[in-house]
Structure 1
Amino acid sequence: MEMRRKRSAILLFTSMALLIILAACSGGGGGGNDGTSGSSGDSKTTGNKEGNAAGSEPSKEAGAAKTLSMMWWGTDARHEATKKALDLYTQQHANVKFKPEFMAWDAYWQKLPTLAASKSITDVLQMDAAYIQEYVSRGQLEDLSDIDLSGIVDANVVENLKIGGKLYGIPLSQNAQGIAFNKPELEQYGISLPQKNWTYDEFFQWAKDARSKLPEGKYPIGDTTTWDGFNYYQTSMGKDPIMSDGGKKFTLDKELFMTFYKIYEDFRKTKVVPPAEKAAAFLENDPQADPMASGVVMTRGATTGSVSALEQLIPGKVGVVNMPTGPSGGGWAQSTIFLSVSANSKNKEEAKNFVQWFITDKEAGKALGLTRGIPINPEIYKELEPTLEQKDKLGKEIYDLSVEKALPFYAPAAGFSEWVDTYKKELEAVTFGQQSIEDAYNKIDKMGKELAAKAGA
Structure 2
Amino acid sequence: MSMNIVPRKTAAAVAALLLAFTAAGCSSLGVKEEAQPAPQTGGTQTATSTGAKPIKLRVMWWGSQARHDATLKILDLYTKKNPNITFETQYQGFDGYLDKLTTQAAAKNAPDIIQMDAAWLADWNGRGQLADLSSGINTNDIDPSLLDTGKYKGKLTAVPLGNNAWGMIYDKAALEKLGVAPPKDGYTWDDYFKLVEEIKPKLGKGQYVIKDGTTDTTQYAAFQLSRGKGWPVTVDGKFNYDKESWLEWTKKFAQLRKDGVVPPPDVQLADKDLDPTADMLINGKLLFKGLHAAQVSAYDALKPGAIGVAAMPQGVQGGGWLKATFYFSVSQDSQYKEEAKKFIDWFINDPEAGEIGGTTRGVPITSKIVAQLQPKFNLGDKLTVEMINKTALKPQVFNPGAPGWTDFAKDEQDIRERLMFEKITPEQAFDELAKAGKKYEK
Q: Is residue 102 of structure 2 the alignment partner of residue 112 of structure 1? A: no
> Helix, strand or coil for the counterpart of 2:290?
strand
Q: Which of the numbers 366, 369, 381 marks the counterpart of 1:380?
A: 369
**TM superposition shift of 1:328:** 4.5
CA contact (8 A) 1:332 1:407 kept: yes
> Which residue number in structure 1 is paired with residue 6 of structure 2?
none
Distance 1:257 1:328 in 2: 17
For the pair shown, the structure with the greater C-alpha radius of gyration is: 1
Distance 1:68 1:289 in 2: 40
Q: Is residue 313 of structure 2 the alignment partner of residue 321 of structure 1? A: no
**TM superposition shift of 1:252:** 2.1
**TM superposition shift of 1:87:** 5.8
> Which residue number in structure 1 is paired with residue 46 of structure 2?
none
Distance 1:264 1:103 in 2: 38
Q: Is residue 285 of structure 2 the alignment partner of residue 296 of structure 1? A: yes
After superposition, residues 327-366 of structure 1 pair within 5 angstroms as: 327-340=316-329, 355-366=344-355
Q: Is residue 438 of structure 2 the alignment partner of residue 446 of structure 1? A: no
| Greater displacement, 434-443 / 155-164 | 155-164
> Which residue number in structure 2 is paired with residue 237 of structure 1?
227
> Which residue number in structure 2 is paired with residue 422 of structure 1?
414
Distance 1:67 1:133 in 2: 34
Q: Is residue 209 of structure 2 the alignment partner of residue 220 of structure 1? A: yes
Could you say if the C-alpha distance between residues 236 and 85 of structure 1 is closer, same or farther in structure 2, counting changes exceeding 3 Å? farther
**TM superposition shift of 1:257:** 0.7
Could you say if the C-alpha distance between residues 270 and 371 of structure 1 is closer, same or farther in structure 2, counting changes exceeding 3 Å? closer
**TM superposition shift of 1:352:** 6.4
Distance 2:86 2:59 in 1: 12
Distance 1:190 1:349 in 2: 58
After superposition, residues 19-418 of structure 1 pair within 5 angstroms as: 71-74=58-61, 75=68, 77-85=70-78, 88=81, 101-104=88-91, 106=97, 108-115=101-108, 122=112, 125-141=114-130, 152-153=142-143, 157-158=146-147, 167-211=156-200, 214-215=202-203, 217=205, 218-224=207-213, 225-244=215-234, 248-276=237-265, 278-280=267-269, 282-285=271-274, 290-340=279-329, 355-370=344-359, 372-387=361-376, 389-404=378-393, 405-408=395-398, 410=400, 413-418=405-410
Could you say if the C-alpha distance between residues 165 and 239 of structure 1 is closer, same or farther in structure 2, counting changes exceeding 3 Å? farther
Number of residue pairs the alignment of both structures matches: 373
Output the aligned Cα RMSD.
4.0
Q: Which string of whole-angstrom CA distances, capped at 9 and with x for unpartnered residues, describes residues 405-438 of structure 1?
A: 15425468333353143133223223xxx43211
Could you say if the C-alpha distance between residues 207 and 163 of structure 1 is closer, same or farther in structure 2, counting changes exceeding 3 Å? farther
Could you say if the C-alpha distance between residues 365 and 216 of structure 1 is closer, same or farther in structure 2, counting changes exceeding 3 Å? closer
CA contact (8 A) 1:176 1:332 kept: yes
Distance 1:367 1:295 in 2: 31
Q: Which TM-score applies when normalising by structure 2?
A: 0.68
> Helix, strand or coil for the counterpart of 2:245?
helix
**TM superposition shift of 1:81:** 1.0
> Helix, strand or coil for the counterpart of 1:320?
strand
> Helix, strand or coil for the counterpart of 2:289?
strand
Distance 1:190 1:400 in 2: 26
Distance 1:160 1:343 in 2: 19
CA contact (8 A) 2:130 2:157 kept: yes
> Helix, strand or coil for the counterpart of 2:220?
helix
Distance 2:148 2:316 in 1: 19
**TM superposition shift of 1:359:** 1.9
| Greater displacement, 300-309 / 139-148 | 139-148
Distance 1:347 1:277 in 2: 46
**TM superposition shift of 1:299:** 1.1
CA contact (8 A) 2:161 2:348 kept: yes
Q: Which string of whole-angstrom CA distances, capped at 9 and with x for unpartnered residues, describes residues 60-116 of structure 1?
A: xxxxx999985421446524413524665x69xxxxx85755433556543233338
**TM superposition shift of 1:378:** 3.6
**TM superposition shift of 1:322:** 2.0
**TM superposition shift of 1:342:** 5.8
Could you say if the C-alpha distance between residues 68 and 437 of structure 1 is closer, same or farther in structure 2, counting changes exceeding 3 Å? same
Could you say if the C-alpha distance between residues 130 and 102 of structure 1 is closer, same or farther in structure 2, counting changes exceeding 3 Å? farther
Percent of residue pairs bearing the same amino acid type: 31
